[in-house]
Amino acid sequence: MPQTIRIALDVMGGDFGAPVVVAGAAKSFARHPDIAFVMVGDQSVVEPLLAEHPAMRAASRMVHTTVSVKMDEKPSQALRHGRWRSSMWMAIDAVKRGDADVAISAGNTGALMAMAKFHLKTMPGIDRPAIAARWPTMRGASIVLDLGASIGADAEHLVDLAMMGGAMARVVLGIERPTVGLLNIGVEEVKGLEEVREAGAMLREAGHREIDYVGFVEGDDIGKGKVDVVVTEGFAGNIALKTAEGTAKQIGEFMRQAMNRSVFAKIGYLFAANAFASVQDKMDPRKVNGGVFLGLNGVVIKSHGATDAEGFATAVDMGYEMVRHDLRANIAEILAKLSAERAVRPAPESIST
């Protein structure tokens, strides 16, 4: 286990850039004084902000660049103009060179994924990386993946997602053998996509020691927290995530309107203010901020671009936990085992021949 956790930050990333990133980093540093930051960005912008946090400044190394990736740049554009010299790339590069244990950016998701994949490459046996995140549930939190790194998934990719998600649940949720479900549109074996059914059969048959595969789950099981890890391909995963966010906002807006409509409601709101705050707190997207890129030779975390310092601090906390519990080695070990199993065992299609 490393003495200090070295975190590279794309200080210029996100809708609000350096002020939010530095303030967020400071909040996380206050909780984890064993972090050493690599701050990548425009020195003239970052230095004055860092000056407000002398303890963190002492634990930070500055890497200067004036190039940054824009939020609306296409991944290919970003790779062309930002490779080697943008703050986003150089934060990833710090991980690649072994100067940092994890890179965090609130910048453009597509560009970050493209750069991370290009520079760090996927782990042996993994074709495509995934994005995983915590999802608040009635039971606490679950890990859901893939939230949009790639579209579509064959059965083997879904199994990879299950194993990587399981590793993340161990680290983030502290559950030794997390329960895992495949997102589907019915609990009967007959329903759903061929790939999902095949992945279910593979997971059931393999009986992995690292995860407890429980079967199919449906969209409403996510919020119930029926399983610790919900596995799906990126299109459905992204739509589920965004739809849940939209529904939460919608209810919040209905609630706000209703509480403003009458004097009675306003009085009620005052009495129940703490109760409202506790619900808001439970659904607060800032408390679960941080999409973890899984399946790369290095840990990269995407913070929401529009988050504030509190939200960015959560992403930094997430990065800290990932390194502290050695997520990468954990996943590498599981994947090596999986690949060894696949090598000795015939593929499902060839069993019947």
**Residues in contact with a second copy by the rule CB under 8 A:** 74, 110, 136-138, 148, 151-152, 183, 185-186, 188, 190-193, 218-224, 232, 234-236, 238-251, 253-255, 258-259, 261-262, 264-265, 267-276, 278-279, 282-283
Closest CA to 117 of 235, 293, 291, 289: 293
Taking the least distance from each CB to a second copy, the nearer of 284 and 308 is 284
Taking the least distance from each CB to a second copy, the nearer of 110 and 165 is 110
User: How far is the C-alpha of 212 from the C-alpha of 108, rounded, in Å?
Assistant: 35
Minimum distance between the CB of residue 305 and a second copy, rounded to whole angstroms?
A: 13
DSSP notation for 94-143: HHHTTS-SEEEE-S-HHHHHHHHHHHH-BPTT-SS-EEEEEEEETTEEEE
User: How far is the C-alpha of 267 from the C-alpha of 20, rounded, in Å?
Assistant: 35
Taking the least distance from each CB to a second copy, the nearer of 66 and 247 is 247
Minimum distance between the CB of residue 38 and a second copy, rounded to whole angstroms?
A: 30
The token pair that represents 152 in the structure block: 């579509």
Minimum distance between the CB of residue 81 and a second copy, rounded to whole angstroms?
A: 16
Instruction: Supply the angle between the helices 273-283 and 234-259 in degrees, to the nearest 10.
Output: 170
Instruction: List, in order, residues 6 or more apart from 281 with CB less than 8 Å away.
Output: 287
Are 158 and 322 in contact, with CB atoms under 8 Å apart? no
Taking the least distance from each CB to a second copy, the nearer of 274 and 353 is 274
Minimum distance between the CB of residue 279 and a second copy, rounded to whole angstroms?
A: 5
What's the DSSP call for residue 334?
H
Minimum distance between the CB of residue 186 and a second copy, rounded to whole angstroms?
A: 8
Taking the least distance from each CB to a second copy, the nearer of 62 and 259 is 259
User: How far is the C-alpha of 11 from the C-alpha of 130, rounded, in Å?
Assistant: 23
Taking the least distance from each CB to a second copy, the nearer of 214 and 283 is 283
The number of C-alpha atoms within 13 Å of 179 and in the hemisphere containing its C-beta is 14
Minimum distance between the CB of residue 321 and a second copy, rounded to whole angstroms?
A: 24
